[in-house]
Amino acid sequence: MIVNLDDYVHYLAIEKGLSDNTIEAYLRDIEAFLRYLDLEFNIKDSLNNIEKEAIIKYLKQLEKKGISEKSQSRFLAAIKSFFRYQIREKLITLDPTSTIESPKTSRKLPGILTISEIDRLLDCPDLQTTIGNRDKAMLEVAYGSGLRVSELLSLKMDDINLELGFIKCIGKGSKERIIPIGEIALDHLLEYIQKYRPALLKNNRERTLFLNIRGNKMSRQGFYKILVHYGKKAGISKQISPHTLRHSFATHLIENGADLRSVQEMLGHSDISTTELYTHLTIKHMKKIYNNTHPRA
């Protein structure tokens, strides 16, 4: 099927304000769906001929292939978005997805580190080296702010206000938010900026805050490898990822009395129900402590 997706990409980026990663995922899903339509129904030119049953059959095929409910929901969200766009542009007259409901997905509680594990992790970098000081500052900022890994690695020098103690970042949907960071993270960040970032800098016009050894912006994979390395060094047996620090940040705040709205603001969640997931985590944690310590438990 020959369908020009350029205008749709423009719509997702400019009018919907979706991130590059989300747009890329939507495009992959739509292109896979269009290939399926070509193979199964030999539809050559018009999306008007597509019926609800074709989409349901496609979703059932995904299920048979062992695709998770979460991924199925993402596929359906992409397809629904695509057909809504077609209706909006008057390219089709009926939306075959309008009465299709997304599969119910169970929400898994995120993995977190205890405060003791966080302390061990943050104590791992070697502060006698340039790389160790960069890593120390990076980990302190990640845990101290709850930034997504893409937000952390995209920070620019101008996004840091050392005097007032906050970070400015651009999150999902190109939304800007301001996040406070504590004195410990600020101290190590200042040390890195003044003494160690210049040693990594190869181009004076480079404004990215955290640099790799080539003087460029660090990749997500690069940060993941650093984190896993320090996790092993700290003797942490749990699976650890950049998101683990974000989950731990939110959980520790709520455990210590932070209100949900403030945590929602700092995390950049558009829906507070996403933030509420962390209250379930803290309740589970409290119940475990109770069962382990109360004489009548």
The alpha-helical segments, DSSP class H, found in the chain are 6-10, 20-41, 52-64, 69-88, 115-122, 130-145, 149-153, 183-191, 197-200, 220-233, 242-255, 260-267, 272-293
Residue 252 among the catalytic residues: no
Catalytic option among 80, 172, 233, 285 = 172
User: d(Cα 64, Cα 112) in Å, to the nearest integer?
Assistant: 32
Residue 171 identity (one-letter amino acid): G
Four-residue CA torsion sign, 232, 236, 238, 240: negative
Q: What is the DSSP letter of 209?
A: S
Catalytic (active site) residue 148: yes
**243 included as an active-site residue:** yes
Distance, in Å, from the CA atom of 23 to the CA atom of 12, rounded to the nearest integer, reads: 7
Which residue type, as a one-letter code, is found at position 19?
Answer: S
Whether 88 is a known active-site residue: answer no
Query: What is residue 180's three-state secondary structure?
Result: strand
Torsion sign, CA atoms 3, 7, 11, 12: positive
Residue among 74, 148, 247, 252 flagged as catalytic: 148
What is the C-alpha separation between 79 and 103, in angstroms, rounded? 14
Residue 247 a catalytic site member: no
- CA distances to 74, 127, 242, 243, 272 from 276, in Å: 21, 37, 20, 17, 6
Question: Which of 10, 243, 280, 284 is flagged as catalytic?
Answer: 243
Known catalytic residue at 246: yes
Amino acid, res. 194:
Q
Residue in 74, 136, 246, 247 annotated catalytic = 246
- Asked whether the beta carbons of 217 and 153 are under 8 A apart, the reply is yes
Q: Which of 136, 188, 197, 269 is catalytic?
A: 269
Cβ burial, residue 202 (10 Å; 0-12/13-18/19+): exposed
Q: Which residues are catalytic?
A: 148, 172, 243, 246, 269, 278
